[in-house]
Amino acid sequence: MEKILVLDFGGQYNQLIARRVREQHVYAEIKPYHNISVEEIREAGYRGIIFTGGPNSVYDESSPHYDPRVLELGIPVLGICYGHQLMAYMAGGTIASAESGSEYGKTAVAVSPCPLFRDVPESSITWMSHTDFVRVPPEGFRVVARTGKCPCAAMCCEERRLYGVQFHPEVTHTEYGRQMLRNFLYDICGCAGSWTMDDFVARAVAKYGAELAGKKTLLGLSGGVDSSVAAVLLHQAIGDNLTCVFVDHGLLRKGEGDMVEQTFRGYGIRLIRVNAEQRFLDRLAGVTEPERKRKIIGEEFIRVFEDEARKLGKIHVLVQGTIYPDVIESGKGDSAVIKSHHNVGGLPDVMAFDEIVEPLRDLFKDEVRAVGTRLGLPHELVWRQPFPGPGLAVRIIGEITKEKLDLLREADAIFREEIANAGLEQATNQYFAVLTDLRSVGVKGDARAYGWTIALRAVTTDDFMTAEWTRLPYEVLERASSRITGEIASITRVVYDITSKPPATVEWE
């Protein structure tokens, strides 16, 4: 499989670069610069390398550096922002701090003809975010782009297939960024574009069908996108050797448990549904501190999962719904070890599994959704809103009770229904209701009422590392508010959260 190495120097857009490459049907994987050697790069057979940006200066001794031999491998390299400066520094160029001011945001760039800029206009808008710049390019390089403040906004050495850009082609604000990346991948690296989700499904089914033949396999099914796609994919590969355990902790949204059960029984997948609502409510009684809620729910989930797994006898393989951002964010070089504990709360330490399988660990969330669509999963499951593991417990401020859960389920269902009625399901990346611990006076039926306050939350984001509050139409918010206060007697007030991340988080707890 042809692949591109995204060599990470601490840039905030490292995942976005990989996603943009994959959108061009070329597989990209991210490696921290300190976790892969030049020899390993050579042996891995990469078709190209992309140096990411980063917050440092190349002249700072503590900043990320790399072995200059990487430029002598004969593998095409594209340096972006800090990666552009680092390439110049390694090849003998000169870097300086901008004397006339830094460049941040949308910036007009004038380009000269070169393979990287094929079909790119002579002048266009790019996204800049830098203080340092390349003052003198290395010997053998020529300047191929300039701005009003940056004399070397891009450089290239066509003979060695080395290219650097000071701007960020991976962000949508760079008008022709996708074209530049496509030129690098296809014209410079010679990629054919064989990375598709149809190809992934076929290879995964063949791979696990052979590797797991005859092995009893267990998957903890949450009903979320990742575990659901993993379940259907593995079922195609190994059939009845897969058993899914769905722990319904009573903290799901309205109708969700039944929907999950009906969906997977419809696929003929062996499914054990454990209705453990009271068990979780008993453990959570009187608990108000968010982190303690999370720990109790995580631990109890494992205890229930263990109880069911023991009834099945010897299980050879545990399946986890790990996806690529989990791998990146969970210790970088040690991700496999960390994730084997993170996803199932320590289960591999206390049960005798021979191996752990993570069939989706190479995919981003949008690719997981694409696989789910190709496997025939229903739209409402494939596009299911991101949902925290502790469920509604972290969307109820204060103590968890059955009454509060049922109240929040109704309010959340109304909000989601109004979003769907307005055709905005994919216009915002996550939306939900929160039951606050605030009560306020209201008027219902010409009488005084004293009820709960519901907060509505919707955010727009590329990666959930940062998020903007979604500017939902007032009409949608008005209908949701009117229905929630009208249909749920104990709610007297609805508010809308207009805080972005940062300073807030997406969830309230």
My answer on whether 453 and 363 are in the same domain is no
- Residue 334's pLDDT band (boundaries 50, 70, 90)? very low
Half-sphere exposure of 86 (CA within 13 A, CB side): 32
CATH of the domain at 88: 3.40.50.880
Last residue of a domain, one of 382, 410, 426: 382
* Catalytic residue list contains 43: no
Q: Which two tokens stand for residue 96?
A: 């300086």
- Residue 269's pLDDT band (boundaries 50, 70, 90)? very high
My answer on whether 370 and 241 are in the same domain is yes
- Supply the DSSP symbol for 501: B
My answer on whether 149 and 287 are in the same domain is no
| Distance between CA atoms of residues 387 and 394, nearest Å | 10
> Hey, how many other C-beta atoms are within 10 angstroms of the C-beta on 287?
16
Check if the beta carbon of residue 425 is closer than 8 Å to that of residue 385: no
My answer on whether 210 and 177 are in the same domain is no
| Distance between CA atoms of residues 234 and 360, nearest Å | 11
Catalytic residue among 170, 300, 308, 358: 170
Catalytic residue among 84, 168, 235, 249: 168
My answer on whether 204 and 339 are in the same domain is yes
Query: What H or E segment, with its residue span, contains residue 165?
Result: strand 162-165
In a domain, 509, yes or no: no
Q: pLDDT of 143-163, one tens digit each? A: 999 998 888 999 999 999 999
CATH of the domain at 262: 3.40.50.620
Select from 229, 300, 256 the least CA-distant residue to 392: 256
* Catalytic residue list contains 316: no
Domain boundaries, position 432: 401-496
In a domain, 484, yes or no: yes
* Catalytic residue list contains 81: yes
My answer on whether 291 and 415 are in the same domain is no
Check if the beta carbon of residue 347 is closer than 8 Å to that of residue 196: no
Report the percentage of the chain scoring pLDDT > 90. 61
Catalytic residue among 81, 150, 152, 244: 81
My answer on whether 378 and 406 are in the same domain is no
In DSSP terms, which residues pair with 122 in a beta bridge?
Answer: none
| Distance between CA atoms of residues 444 and 420, nearest Å | 28
Number of domains comprising the chain:
3
My answer on whether 55 and 87 are in the same domain is yes
| Distance between CA atoms of residues 283 and 393, nearest Å | 12
In a domain, 456, yes or no: yes
Say yes or no to pLDDT of 486 above 90: yes
Q: pLDDT of 363-418, one tens digit each? A: 888 899 999 999 999 888 888 877 887 889 999 999 999 999 999 999 999 999 99
Last residue of a domain, one of 188, 222, 248: 188
In a domain, 111, yes or no: yes
